Amino acid sequence: MIDQQQFDELVARHAVPGAVLAVSVGVSVQQFASGVLNVSTGVATTANSLFHLGSITKVYTATALLRLVEQGVVTLDSRVVDALPGFEAADARTTQGLTMRHLLTHTSGMAGDFSYDTGRGDDALARYVAACARVPPDHRLGATFSYCNAGYSILARVMEVLTAKTWERLVRDLVLDPIGADHSRLLAEEVLRFQAAVGHLPDGRGGLTPPPFWEPTPRGQSAAGGLCASAADVVAFARMHLTDPKLAVMREPQVAVPGSVPEHWGLGWMLWRWDSRALAGHQGGTLGQSAYLTVIPDADVVLVLLTNSGRSAGLYRDLFARLLKDTCGITMPGPWAPPAEPAATTGLAGLAGRYQCSSWTFDVTYDGSLKVRVTPLGDAARFREPFSLDLVAASDTEFFGRSPGDASWRRIVIENGRLHHGLRAAAQARTD
């Protein structure tokens, strides 16, 4: 399968400062640690080191909600406004119709990447959810899938009100303690007890360096991405899902995801099929850290990779392609790429225009071929510069593009007045 030397070589080849890999086949778990937690201090990575899981946290939040569903506290189709008297979204239809299922499946239409630091107190979630009312939606309720971090904060606030416990206490009581996850922490100040990874960003000279500060997720948004954990604890969490039949409903497809690797979304989980086999998982990215979780239910296999680099996608692909083949006989598809010859298309001029969501603006132009100018907004603008793509058509609605110097192709789907890219849906701006 893989040994320590091979893991060390791969981590070094991909210039990832530190990483931990955990492979669970049934109850047998192998772990490998490599590199350093911080290039400035040289502290070695160990199997017990904590990494920032980012959006993998959402599956933990979803699991806590499902436990409350089991207890009869709430249902998947309970309305938010019934649980949170006074709740308001930016439009009346969402205020009245928004349910737990919409939030779990990223179909709420609410501004998905709204960022607002409401402090570290126990009222952080309440204040954040109240602020969401001021932000225009990305699309109408239930119209399509568009990744929504804000939705998981609303879920967490619903749970707080229904149980009179903080989100952190609920996740600890309902998810972490039952599996003995003693190397998982939900508050940044708790992480200091452990050896923890710091993120690494490009230093402008071809290397990586830690940012000037360790940036925790604001508490009001922690339910969407604040958990820090060891790889072994993430395996224990995933194995709970494989062994508890009551949680299998979370892996049932709920909504299609246009233009992305996960073909569907379940209740918290990304879902896709390779070689006609069902896989579930999630990924997370924070300031200079990346985390990967994949579950293959019919083989009873869990793969976890935690890294302290925002540029670890190549390491993930090399490792998981090999491990999926060795443990399950599954071939990971190659990276996205356009067809050798662009597809014959019609009506492309009608796709031109501006498409916008809460975190990105896409300006699509047509002069015989499509081009798009991508501009980050809000928090995304802190880390990304605007860039342009020349699009190669795979069909009348599917396109591929990459910016100069980028080895990876991006996939864009434009249909029904929306542009889908990077799990986000941007609506075409009206011209009248």
Give domain limits for the chain. 1-334, 348-428
What pLDDT is recorded for position 259?
A: 83
DSSP E strands in 221-316: the ranges are 228-229, 255-256, 264-265, 270-274, 277-286, 289-296, 301-307
Q: How many CA atoms lie within 13 A of 115 on its CB side?
A: 11
Percent of the chain as helix, strand, coil, to the nearest 5: 30, 25, 45
Which residue type is seen at 312? S
Residues 121-140: what's their mean pLDDT?
94
Q: Which of 24, 34, 49, 55 is catalytic?
A: 55
Tokens 């971090």 sit on residue: 149
User: By C-alpha distance, which of 82, 147, 115, 110 is closest to 284?
Assistant: 147
Q: 348-428 in CATH: which number? A: 2.40.128
298 Cβ neighbours under 8 A, 6+ residues apart = 277, 278
Neighbours of 297 (CB within 10 A): 16
pLDDT(431) > 60: no
Q: 1-334 in CATH: which number? A: 3.40.710.10
pLDDT(358) > 60: yes
Which residue type is seen at 45? T
Residues 339-350: what's their mean pLDDT?
91
3-state secondary structure of 382: helix
User: By C-alpha distance, which of 271, 268, 241 is closest to 253?
Assistant: 271
Residues 199-223: what's their mean pLDDT?
89
DSSP E strands in 170-259: the ranges are 184-185, 201-202, 208-209, 228-229, 255-256
Q: Count, in order, helices (H) and strands (E) of the chain.
A: 12, 22
Residues 1-16: what's their mean pLDDT?
97
Query: Who wins on pLDDT, 203 or 82?
Result: 82
| Residue 5 in tokens | 């030397």
User: By C-alpha distance, which of 256, 273, 261 is closest to 416?
Assistant: 256
Residues 32-36: what's their mean pLDDT?
98
Q: Is residue 55 flagged as an active site residue? A: yes
Query: Who wins on pLDDT, 233 or 431?
Result: 233
What pLDDT is recorded for position 432?
A: 47
Q: What is the pTM for the complete model shown? A: 0.96
Answer whether 284's CB lies under 8 Å from 262's CB. Answer: no
| Residue 64 in tokens | 């806590």
- 333 DSSP 8-state letter: P
Topology agreement, domain 1-334 and domain 348-428: no
Measured distance CA(277)–CA(169) in Å, rounded: 36
Pairing of strands 360-366, 255-256: unpaired
What pLDDT is recorded for position 320?
A: 98
